């Protein structure tokens, strides 16, 4: 079954608003020809959402999925790191985590737990899933979904903290500029350096978990979560689809073909359960 799955898989990501601090890279300088104005609604700016917040978000969803099958997940931080909060690491170890890398004596010989296997850890061990950034563009026809791109509209938001003193007439005390991308709809491209059936099982379960918990503060993506940013509808796009079918998912004018419906049926009835069984077995074997 695994031979029917491409090493490149795609997660559909839809969100009204995403804020990832100052780490959205835009091409506004290039696009504006020197006439860029922050607040001009005509700006057609594309850019890149880096993989770091996406990766942490996915990893957290996968850790929860592992824990739901009574496994423990690799902690993302080194045990001897200087955490800002005392006792936080030990507390996590009692709440479904094991110490980072405790699951393998020699990562070159032994893959460790599934989270370590996917995300890697100590220097030189890259992990077997490569997480790419998402390139976004406001012009739908310019978006190449097969390259892990998205439609998205960049805006620079201004946040003012104003004086509460009546005499000051709401004079700003502080101003912060925030990069945001609105109305994102597109693909996140993940590539497996090595394929294992349990990897696909965990990806499917982790993405379902994140979709079901999208409004939980813990499982929103990026910053400004108190303001409703980062609530993500996500879905693993059927890995059995070929490129043409992947594109069709994003074509508002077209419905699924019969072949796509048949692949959906196969995915739900045969493939996915087999991959989730492999996940359960891997977790039952221990970290």
Residues that bind Zn ion (CB under 5 A): 74, 103, 112-113, 116
Give the nearer residue to Zn ion in terms of CB position, either 113 or 200: 113
Least Å from the CB of residue 26 to Zn ion: 37
Q: Which residues 6+ apart lie within 8 Å of 64 measured at CB?
A: 206, 209, 213
Least Å from the CB of residue 270 to Zn ion: 30
Residue nearest to Zn ion (CB): 74
Give the nearer residue to Zn ion in terms of CB position, either 110 or 158: 110
Give the nearer residue to Zn ion in terms of CB position, either 27 or 78: 78
Give the nearer residue to Zn ion in terms of CB position, either 50 or 127: 127
Q: Are the beta carbons of 107 and 101 closer than 8 angstroms?
A: yes
Give the nearer residue to Zn ion in terms of CB position, either 122 or 227: 122
Q: How far is CA 266 from CA 1, 228, 240, 262, in A?
A: 11, 36, 9, 6
Q: How far is CA 59 from CA 118, 227, 252, in A?
A: 9, 23, 31
Q: Which residues 6+ apart lie within 8 Å of 242 measured at CB?
A: none
Least Å from the CB of residue 287 to Zn ion: 5
Alpha-helical (H) ranges within the chain are: 28-32, 51-68, 88-93, 114-119, 197-212, 243-249, 258-266, 272-284
Least Å from the CB of residue 36 to Zn ion: 46
Least Å from the CB of residue 286 to Zn ion: 10
Least Å from the CB of residue 75 to Zn ion: 8
Query: What DSSP state is assigned to residue 133?
Result: P
Cα–Cα distance measured from residue 43 to residue 155, given in angstroms and rounded to the nearest whole number: 9
The partner residues of 74 in beta bridges, in order of sequence, read 98
Least Å from the CB of residue 116 to Zn ion: 4
Beta strands per DSSP E along the chain: 8-19, 25-26, 47-49, 73-74, 97-98, 129-131, 134-137, 149-162, 172-192, 233-236
Give the nearer residue to Zn ion in terms of CB position, either 98 or 189: 98
Q: Are the beta carbons of 181 and 24 closer than 8 angstroms?
A: yes
Give the nearer residue to Zn ion in terms of CB position, either 12 or 75: 75
């Amino acid at each position: 079954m695994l031979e029917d799955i491409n090493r490149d898989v795609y997660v559909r990501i839809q969100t009204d608003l995403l804020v990832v601090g100052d780490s959205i890279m835009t091409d506004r300088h290039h696009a504006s020809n020197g006439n860029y104005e922050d607040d001009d609604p005509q700006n057609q700016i594309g850019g890149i959402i880096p993989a770091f917040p996406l990766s942490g978000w996915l990893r957290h969803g996968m850790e929860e999925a592992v824990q739901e099958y009574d496994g423990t997940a690799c902690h993302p931080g080194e045990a001897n790191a200087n955490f800002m909060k005392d006792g936080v690491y030990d507390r996590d170890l009692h709440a479904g985590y094991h110490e980072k890398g405790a699951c393998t004596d020699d990562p070159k010989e032994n893959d460790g737990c599934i989270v370590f296997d996917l995300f890697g850890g100590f220097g030189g061990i890259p992990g077997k899933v490569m997480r790419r950034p998402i390139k976004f563009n406001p012009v739908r026809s310019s978006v190449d979904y097969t390259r892990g791109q998205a439609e998205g509209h960049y805006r620079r938001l201004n946040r003012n903290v104003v004086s509460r003193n009546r005499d000051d007439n709401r004079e700003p005390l502080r101003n912060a500029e925030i990069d945001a991308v609105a109305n994102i709809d597109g693909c996140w491209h993940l590539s497996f350096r090595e394929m294992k059936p349990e990897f696909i099982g965990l990806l499917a379960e982790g993405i379902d978990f994140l979709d079901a918990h999208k409004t939980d503060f813990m499982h929103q993506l990026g910053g400004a979560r108190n303001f409703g940013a980062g609530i993500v509808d996500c879905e693993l796009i059927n890995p059995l689809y070929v490129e043409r079918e992947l594109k069709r998912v994003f074509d508002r004018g077209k419905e699924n073909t019969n072949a796509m419906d048949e692949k959906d049926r196969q995915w739900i009835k045969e493939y996915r359960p087999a991959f989730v069984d492999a996940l359960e077995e891997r977790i039952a074997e221990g970290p």
